[in-house]
A and B are shown apart, each in its own frame.
Chain A
Amino acid sequence: MDSVDPKLAVGEQPRSYAVPIAFVIMLALLLLAPFVTYPLIVMQALCFALFACAFNLLIGYVGLLSFGHALYFGWASYVCAHLAKVGTIALPYWAGSWQWLTIPLPPLPPELAILGGTAVAAIFGLIAGSLAIRRQGIYFAMITLALAQMMYFFALQAPFTHGEDGIQAVPRGRLFGVFDLSNPSVLYVAVLGIFLLGFLLIYRIIHSPFGEVLKAIRENEARAISLGYKTDRYKLVAFVLSAALAGLAGSTKAIVFQLASLTDVHWAMSGEVILMTLVGGLGTIFGPVAGAFVIIAMQNYFSALDQWVTVIQGIIFVACVLLFRRGLVGELAALLRIKL
């Protein structure tokens, strides 16, 4: 995608300390935030920030607009909630007629439940990704959207998700059997740790040789192919990574809110994560984080406005596309002439 932010992408700059300084500022703000506002809102924002970062890995660095990321976020949250609360898995298989293969598991500790949710998201990412990368651009977006909507209907009908009610009262448990997550400060530190883990992993991915190939595909896929790169394979790996990290965010959200529900799989959620990334800045490392905090703050503090929040979100969408396509962080970086 050549028009995301050509100004930011081109040009080698002398080594700058902008990113480490920005990271330290972000970390300081995140450590202070729970003292200033409700910790639960900050944790919600952190989950969505990780989700938006995972989404941005695709749109910002490979140029692929996935309109179905709610699938990985929402299903991971269902799987994580189910593993943490019930444990037992029942898989259908065909032996003349449909049978259930039941794996009797006890309710899992939070770290394994989160891992399970992330793994399922990665598997779904592999399946959906290998279908979607057969088409490009707008088609890619429509296919990811349609597949996500299909899985929304599965979530609506599958017995373990409890339909409209969702999975409620998910136990938070003890992380690694030691840290009691029912203590809010312990929970905050755990969520912050998971967010930082995902954030730094994404930073590492886009600054690796693999990430450089991804950016080359974004700039000019035909040229990358002619250089001998199997671009489909790179795109698929990026898709799976993005889906898995979105799943990590969704699993964490299930533990934090002790709830997995249909809103997280609905396509409106896919739109919301796009909005967060767009507001913060496509293709910037800090953009999705800033965007997630802005949107979550808006939703929480404007909640009295009820339905008008959707209208305001729509207006922000239109304004971002027409007026400041670089987003908050992108505009700031352009103003300061640094790369963020």
Chain B
Amino acid sequence: MFEIFGIPSQALFGQLLIGLINGSFYAVLSLGLAVIFGMLNIINFSHGAQYMMGAFCAFFLLHYAGLNYWAALVLAPIAVGFTGILVERAFLQWLYKLDHLYGLLLTFGLALIIEGVFRNYFGASGLPYAVPESLQGGINLGFMFLPIYRAWVIGFSLVVCLATWFIIERTRLGGYLRAATENPTLVRSFGINVPRMITLTYGFGVGLAALAGVMAAPIYNVSPQMGADLIIVVFAVVVIGGMGSIMGAIVTGFGLGIIEGLTKVFFPEASNTVIFVIMAIVLLIRPAGLFGRAA
């Protein structure tokens, strides 16, 4: 045990760890938002609800199908991503010619429906989801105790983020995606099915939200409200990072999580608001966001 600025190291690193965990969720969620925004030009307000659906999906798989965490990690994003594809085909595809704000409003309505239905069946209180057996326990690092599951969440989200970045920025498929974002008509004339690509992109973004939900299930209670307030913080993260870049979503997601954790140690009253305050300051200095291209 030692102290840093009068704060016991245990508390400091504990909050830093919580910050990193939150940062992982911010990063994966804002990454999903960025991917969807890039292709569809829609701010996906139902992203929080879809994150919650991912957690519930893991809960269902465990309690009704007897499938463990690892199966949920694969199946939940696919299942929720598939509902995303249905949503895109049924609703979103009619909105592309309209102002972008209608996409925001429609997905907001969808979020109300999804969260309302879940609240009706599962109440407002949370349902527990146990940490998978192979990830239980922790390691004593000397200056702090590190639960293995939390280390796994941080490591795995980093891998997911970097893999997504790699696919979009460094592969041929990602090249098509970026080209279609710039000029869909031209890309289409090369024989690439752009509408299908848009549909699959939405499904992928929604799947990312669900993946974050599965990872969150053992840490937080699985509850209908888990996405509702988180999504607004993620919006602030997106504004700070700037929507233009995939890397921006990842770096600001993790960074702001850490800043939030540190605020909890040194100035706990401000921990709920620090990200919004940073957003206001960033807007004053760089309206396009830290990583955004100037509008």
Contacts and interface: CB of A to CB of B under 8 A. Distances in A.
Interface of A: 1-4, 65, 67, 131, 134-139, 141-143, 145-147, 149-150, 153-154, 156-157, 267, 271, 274, 278, 306-311, 313-318, 320-322, 325
A314 B111 contact: yes
Interface in B93-133: 94-95, 98-102, 104-106, 108-117, 119-120
Contacts of A322: 91, 94-95, 106
B104 A318 contact: no
B95 A308 contact: no
B276 interface: yes
Given A3-B98, A137-B100, 9 more contacts: A1-B99, A3-B102, A135-B283, A137-B101, A274-B108, A307-B119, A310-B112, A311-B116, A318-B109
Given A136-B295, A145-B235, A311-B120, A2 B43 contact: no
Nearest to A148: B232
Interface residues of B, number: 44
A5 to B, nearest CB: 11
B279 A314 contact: no
B277 interface: yes
A122 B58 CA distance: 46
B280 A131 contact: yes
B276 A147 contact: yes
Given A138-B100, A142-B43, A317 B120 contact: no
A314 B116 contact: yes
A146 B120 CA distance: 27
B287 interface: yes
Given A65-B101, A141-B43, A146-B232, A135 B287 contact: yes
14 contacts: A3-B99, A131-B284, A134-B287, A138-B100, A141-B43, A141-B104, A145-B232, A145-B235, A146-B276, A149-B276, A310-B119, A316-B109, A318-B106, A318-B109
Nearest to A305: B120
Contacts of A311: 112-113, 116-117, 120
Tell me if B's interface is mostly helix, strand, loop or mixed.
helix
A310 B295 contact: no
Contacts of B3: none
Contact of A271 (B43, B108, B119): B108
Contacts of A278: 105
Q: Which 10 A/B pairs are nearest by Cβ-Cβ distance?
A: A317-B109, A314-B112, A150-B276, A314-B113, A310-B116, A311-B116, A134-B287, A146-B236, A153-B272, A318-B109
Tell me if A's interface is mostly helix, strand, loop or mixed.
helix
Nearest to B101: A65
B136 interface: no
A143 B239 contact: yes
A321 B105 contact: yes
B215 to A, nearest CB: 24
A157 B120 CA distance: 30
A186 B117 CA distance: 42
B101 to A, nearest CB: 5
Interface string B117-157: 10110000000000000000000000000000000000000
A278 B116 CA distance: 20
Given A131-B280, A310-B112, A138 B101 contact: yes
B116 to A, nearest CB: 4
